[in-house]
Amino acid sequence: MPAKIEEILERARQHAETVITPNVDAWNAAGVWPREASDKAGEQGLTGLYAPEELGGQGLSLGDGIQVYEQLGLGDGAYAFALSMHNICTFAGCGYGTDAFKEQWARDLTSGRKLANFALTEPQSGSDATNMYSRAIINDDGTWTINGSKAWVSLAGEADIYFTVVKTSDEPGHEDMAMIAIPADTPGLSFGPKYDTPSYRFLPLSEMYMKDVVVSDDNIILPIGQGLQGSLMAIDIARVSIASGCCGLMQAALDTALSYSKNRKMFGGKNLDLDGIQWMLGEVATELEASRLLYKAAANALGTPEGPLMAAHAKRFVPDAAVKAANTCTQVLGGMGLLKPYGMDRLSRLSQMLRIVDGTTEISRVVIGRSLMKRAKTLPDLPVPKGFGEE
């Protein structure tokens, strides 16, 4: 592994250990995004992972940079998720934004001084991204006037800019879709009440409303016709990033179970001496290793024809494994696993959240199933045994 990524992964691990883990319960109690923490993440180079070095980023490949979220996930999966979405937007803005946009925003985003987030989902449509009602009208002076709403916007009211996917006509389909970045202080942009999310209250999630929002064409990230394709690529990156964060969550759950069971006295010995406990935790350990291999393979496949399918495999398998790991490790703690200081309830709820966001595991199954149907068409028909089915 190159020395640079090793250094960045170590910074991420230290950030989880010294900033996230000791404070996450207080963040949830306050119900406020910890801007001081994300500022520190920026100082450690964790907010411009894929952006070019000349714009203040780290210049990492997706395959290398996505490993950061495993380290952050050791502290909290929702925090890792929020920074992953910021990094995806920063990657898009620095890679595809106009020169004027990069001049104004790039270094603030790569440094974490300003945060970005992605707005695609709408109240009436989740994974069906083409069922979109947000509309942009292009004015005579080149500006865009946008009306509509988005749902499940993370860092809602906290981010400084929102990378928003819109349609530019009433025609069905996706050929008129584009992505434009809307600064948070733009007149007409507002947010609904925060969703009530007990185990990650510090991450603001809500609906976003656009009423006659006017944005300069300097802020076009993906022009008309490229909005959906770019959004799907962003979602694939997000899905693999979530799988990475889930591995951190699984490791945190496993370490908690090991730390408890090695000292818990039972039946004349320690819990960890019992075969049953070893088998339970051994299964978690195996699925963690398999999950790591899978998300890293998927990360390296991003941007290739195999990328969407590999992302689907990672998003299908790893969050399911994280849910199972959190439940198993809670069981190992017995009644203590229900108590807040051990954090297992938070990990269980987070694992369920990570199964759903950016495409449920069922949507991943659809992607995998369609791939299997295509493969089936390329295979020869099996001969029917003579006499089979005949009366």
Residues 221 and 236 in one domain: no
Residues 264 and 339 in one domain: yes
Asked whether residue 391 is assigned to any structural domain, the reply reads: no
CATH number at residue 135: 2.40.110.10
What confidence score (pLDDT) does residue 389 get? 64
User: 184-234, pLDDT tens digit by residue?
Assistant: 999 999 999 999 987 789 999 999 999 999 999 999 999 999 888 898 899
Asked whether residue 390 is assigned to any structural domain, the reply reads: no
List, in sequence order, the alpha helices (H) in the chain: 3-15, 24-30, 35-43, 62-65, 68-73, 77-96, 99-101, 107-110, 227-261, 275-301, 307-333, 344-356, 361-378
Residues 124 and 179 in one domain: yes
| Among 4, 59, 8, 40, residue whose Cα is nearest residue 112 | 40
Mean pLDDT of the residues in the chain: 91
Residues 66 and 200 in one domain: no
User: CA 108, 112, 117 angle in degrees (round to 5)?
Assistant: 90
Residues 244 and 335 in one domain: yes
Strand, helix or coil for residue 139 = coil
- Domain hosting 235: range is 229-376
User: 7-41, pLDDT tens digit by residue?
Assistant: 999 999 999 999 999 999 999 999 999 999 999 99
Residues 125 and 221 in one domain: yes
Residues 351 and 282 in one domain: yes
Asked whether residue 49 is assigned to any structural domain, the reply reads: yes
Asked whether residue 381 is assigned to any structural domain, the reply reads: no
User: 229-263, pLDDT tens digit by residue?
Assistant: 898 899 999 999 999 999 999 999 999 989 888 77
Beta partners for 138? 144
Among 90, 114, 138, the domain boundary falls at 114
CATH number at residue 76: 1.10.540.10
CATH number at residue 343: 1.20.140.10
Strand, helix or coil for residue 178 = strand
Where the chain has pLDDT below 50, the residues are none
Among 114, 136, 153, the domain boundary falls at 114
Among 166, 191, 225, the domain boundary falls at 225
Asked whether residue 186 is assigned to any structural domain, the reply reads: yes
Residues 290 and 217 in one domain: no
Asked whether residue 384 is assigned to any structural domain, the reply reads: no
| Among 237, 242, 236, 239, residue whose Cα is nearest residue 69 | 242
Count of the separate structural domains present in the chain? 3
Residues 133 and 212 in one domain: yes
What confidence score (pLDDT) does residue 54 get? 95
Asked whether residue 93 is assigned to any structural domain, the reply reads: yes
pTM of the model: 0.92
Asked whether residue 259 is assigned to any structural domain, the reply reads: yes
Residues 212 and 152 in one domain: yes
DSSP tally for the chain: helices H, then strands E: 13, 10
Residues 110 and 121 in one domain: no
